């Protein structure tokens, strides 16, 4: 029986993962492989006066040491999305002798064994001309500027007169909120294995974008893109840090060519903190004004975030503000400050996640000031259409999310007074916040194949980072082809397959599944045409468009004549047939605003003696369009909500202000939630198809799950304790000594 769309099916790749058969970038059995270890800067600002690599060259097993003195030319790319390419930072590896941040690549050691490479890297002696770095934003505020942005929303936005309307508000909130530097820390570190063969390059790479990596690496090396192949069968998490091309990928290719043998470069956990991006620190000022009934009159949302001195990344915290609520007067601004730390990059819901912490905390403060229930306040300001674009939403059921979440968490049993709910030594608090993320989609393609043994395959150059793309591709193809999911093989993670976009921006499902749909339908149409044209077939002379595909068979509507797919192909003496589907956004983007919405409800316990916060319960309700697989989408929600708990209570990257080095560059000092930190999470999905976004009716779910979690927890902590924490993470010190 074919798979049903939305069914909670087990992962088709699950057995391979639990048995160790799934191969990640560093797992491919490449013979004669050598190992690369980067030498990185130990200062954050200055110049390299000299590099003495002789002691390293003379150590055992060393094959090559690559520096700016002997590195072949690397080309600068367009660094954009339009050419299916994007570098992690615009500065090229070994571009000059200037040091911009601690951890910057300054040399690469290649040796026969990993241990020999590590030892040799430690022997490379670097002499610097050191300058005092600007590590924190306060050190470089004089260099603040308005960024170009990354295409995720307007850098500055204004409608009405926010300043003027604020003056007439009955209730006003004026507050500053901040979020720290956070790092992605996927389970699998970034890694690349490079193999050259007759001038062709294959990279076994841990990437969220096989097509982007192929194009970037090819362009940087001055190669024909078709001569570069990226393979990423499985990716052990990314959250954004593997979305673009970083120095290790192109340097691995250069090293393999230099030593004329395959090489492997795996970043250490410490290098993951300086070599492939992070979520930047943000400082946000929010002003909110409302009338006596709690209806919004004005919102001002100003963000300053850090960027590096070698590239620009703007954390667009205000992108949700123009459309989130019905408010006639809005002002949004973004500025960046260049500092001597590595270049930031998108991290799960970039902009939306830290931005909603500020906006949803301010809305909660407004609800307490006006004496209006937090849910009711949001309902009074419900935006039925997108006020930012002046367009109808393609599909919006946020009201139902509020109502279901409120009922499921028992909001009516919540005592509205601060510090009024107790359980032994713990104060109990309830909080909520809105969740939202855009419904992005990009061009995607897939090939469907029918084989004479009755099986099928579906292939696309997309990636599976653990979200279940193997399963959803097979499940969707199974439903269209009408054959069991066990008979469908999903093939992905290879740049030689039909192109697909980055697995970021929650766009994989919305971009790839319509292509799977189109390819599966096209191959059935092709099979029908072949069948009716075959004089030896019982279906000869029938009208192809009138044939019906069902349960792996093709036949007439009355079912008097029916042949299996395999019978038709064998009759034609064909081992297989194939068809490609290619889809892209159309004019619907001009007529509708595409967004997913949700409601996050949190219940917390705060120890009155120790100030320890425990999230005892999360109830989250999402409207993300049609579900492809209820089980994998639930897993996505659990992961995003868990990451949101980390954002609220634990995660922050600390730097030594003197030298720019990351202090918390390990998983002992950089805290992420573990099982003991995660109690009861209850995600719900409305499963209402979006009629306009694509033929599937599905939007993405990877990022909306984290949005709204941190403010919901912060709002719950305020209800429990009466202490408003506006600076994440919510640590014990901020509750025991509020204001510090």
3-state DSSP assignment of residue 577? strand
Q: Which residues of 397-417 are buried (b: 16+ CB within 10 A; e: fewer)?
A: bbeebbbbbbebbebeebeee
4 vs 483, 485, 523, 628, 659, CA distance in Å? 11, 9, 19, 9, 56
546, 703, 733, 737: which one is catalytic? Answer: 703
Helix ranges, 140-292 (H): 162-167, 210-221, 247-259
Measured at the alpha carbon of residue 555, what is the angle toward residues 551 and 559, in degrees to the nearest 5? 85
The residues facing 34 across adjacent strands are: 263
Q: Where does 6-118 show beta strands of DSSP type E?
A: 34-40, 46-52, 62-66, 98-99, 105-111
Task: Give the Cα separation of 580 and 459 in Å (integer).
Answer: 9
DSSP 666: S
Sheet holding 171-179: strands in order across? 157-159, 329-339, 296-308, 282-290, 171-179
- N- to C-terminal Cα separation, the chain: 61
Q: What is the 3-state secondary structure (H, E, C) of 542-563?
A: CCHHHCEEECCEEECCCCCCEE
42 φ/ψ sector (left φ>0, alpha ψ -120 to 50, else beta):
alpha
Task: Give the Cα separation of 632 and 256 in Å (integer).
Answer: 38
3-state DSSP assignment of residue 17? helix
**Encoded tokens for 194:** 């490079």
Backbone angles phi, psi at 719, to 5 degrees: -60, -40
Q: Yes or no: say if 532 and 544 are a contact pair by the CB < 8 Å rule.
A: yes
127 tagged catalytic: no
Q: Which residues contact 366 (CB under 8 A, 6 or more apart)?
A: 171, 173, 288, 290, 294, 377
Torsion, Cα 99 105 111 115, to 10 degrees, reads: 100
Task: Give the Cα separation of 280 and 344 in Å (integer).
Answer: 6
Q: Mind telling me the catalytic residues? A: 703
């Amino acid at each position: 029986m074919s798979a049903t769309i939305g069914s909670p099916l087990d992962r088709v790749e699950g057995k391979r993962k639990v048995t160790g058969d799934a191969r990640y970038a560093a797992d491919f059995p490449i013979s004669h492989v050598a190992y690369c270890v980067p030498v990185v800067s130990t200062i954050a600002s200055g110049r390299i006066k000299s590099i003495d690599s002789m002691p390293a060259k003379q150590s055992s097993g060393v094959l090559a040491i690559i520096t700016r003195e002997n590195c072949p030319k690397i080309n600068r790319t367009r660094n954009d999305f339009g050419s299916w390419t994007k570098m992690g930072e615009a500065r090229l590896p070994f571009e000059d002798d200037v040091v911009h941040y601690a951890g910057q690549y300054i040399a690469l050691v290649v040796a026969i064994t990993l241990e020999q490479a590590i030892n040799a890297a430690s022997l490379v002696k670097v002499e610097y001309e050191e300058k005092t770095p600007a590590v924190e934003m306060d050190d470089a505020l004089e260099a603040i500027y308005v960024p170009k942005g990354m295409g995720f929303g307007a850098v500055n936005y204004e409608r009405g007169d926010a300043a003027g309307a604020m003056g007439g508000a009955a209730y006003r909130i004026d507050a500053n909120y901040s979020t720290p530097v956070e790092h992605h820390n996927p389970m699998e570190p970034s890694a690349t294995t490079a193999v050259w063969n007759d001038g062709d390059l294959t990279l076994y790479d841990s990437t969220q974008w096989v097509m982007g990596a192929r194009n970037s690496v090819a362009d940087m090396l001055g190669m024909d893109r078709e001569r570069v192949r990226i393979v990423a069968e499985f990716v052990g998490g990314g959250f954004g840090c593997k979305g673009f091309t970083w120095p290790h990928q192109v340097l691995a290719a250069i090293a393999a060519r230099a030593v004329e043998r395959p090489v492997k470069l795996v970043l250490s956990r410490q290098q993951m903190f300086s070599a492939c991006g992070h979520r930047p620190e943000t400082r946000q000022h929010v002003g909110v004004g409302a009338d006596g009934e709690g209806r919004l009159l004005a919102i001002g949302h100003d963000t300053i975030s850090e960027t590096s001195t070698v590239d620009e990344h703007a954390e667009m915290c205000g992108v949700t503000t123009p459309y989130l609520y019905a408010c006639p007067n809005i002002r949004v601004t973004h500025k960046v400050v260049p500092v001597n730390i590595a270049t930031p990059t998108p991290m799960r819901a970039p902009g939306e996640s830290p931005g909603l912490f500020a906006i949803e905390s301010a809305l909660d403060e407004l609800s307490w000031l006006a004496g209006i229930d937090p849910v009711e306040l949001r309902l009074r300001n419900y935006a039925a259409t997108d006020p930012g674009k002046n367009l109808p939403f393609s599909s919006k059921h946020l009201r139902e999310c509020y109502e279901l979440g409120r009922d499921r968490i028992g909001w009516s049993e919540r005592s509205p007074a601060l510090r009024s709910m107790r359980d032994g030594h713990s104060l109990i608090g309830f909080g909520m916040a809105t969740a939202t993320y855009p419904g992005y989609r990009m061009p995607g393609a897939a090939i469907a194949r029918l084989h004479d043994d009755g099986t099928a395959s579906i292939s696309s150059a997309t990636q599976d980072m653990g979200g279940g793309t193997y399963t959803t591709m097979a499940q969707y193809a199974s439903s269209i082809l009408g054959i069991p999911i066990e008979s469908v093989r999903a093939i992905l993670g290879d740049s030689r397959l039909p192109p697909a976009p980055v697995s970021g921006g929650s766009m994989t499902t919305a971009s790839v599944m319509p292509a799977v749909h189109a390819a599966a339908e096209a191959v059935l149409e092709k099979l029908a045409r072949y069948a009716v044209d075959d004089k030896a077939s019982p279906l000869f002379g029938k009208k192809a468009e009138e044939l019906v595909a069902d349960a792996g068979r093709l036949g007439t509507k009355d079912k008097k004549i029916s042949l299996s797919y395999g019978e038709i192909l064998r009759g034609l003496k064909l081992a297989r047939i194939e068809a490609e589907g290619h889809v892209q956004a159309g004019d619907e983007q001009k007529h509708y605003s595409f967004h997913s919405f949700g409601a996050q409800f949190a219940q917390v316990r705060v120890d009155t003696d120790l100030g320890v916060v425990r999230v005892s319960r999360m109830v989250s309700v999402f409207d993300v369009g049609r579900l492809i697989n209820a089980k994998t989408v639930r897993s996505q929600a659990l992961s995003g909500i868990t990451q949101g708990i980390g954002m609220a209570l634990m995660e922050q990257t600390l730097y030594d202000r003197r030298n720019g080095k990351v202090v918390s560059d390990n998983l002992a000092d950089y805290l992420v939630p573990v099982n003991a930190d995660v109690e009861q999470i209850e995600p719900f999905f409305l499963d209402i198809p979006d009629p306009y976004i694509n033929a599937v009716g599905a939007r993405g779910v990877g990022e909306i799950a984290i949005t709204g979690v941190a403010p919901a927890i912060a709002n719950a902590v305020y209800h429990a304790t009466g202490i408003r924490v506006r600076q994440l993470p919510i640590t014990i010190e901020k509750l025991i000594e509020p204001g510090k």
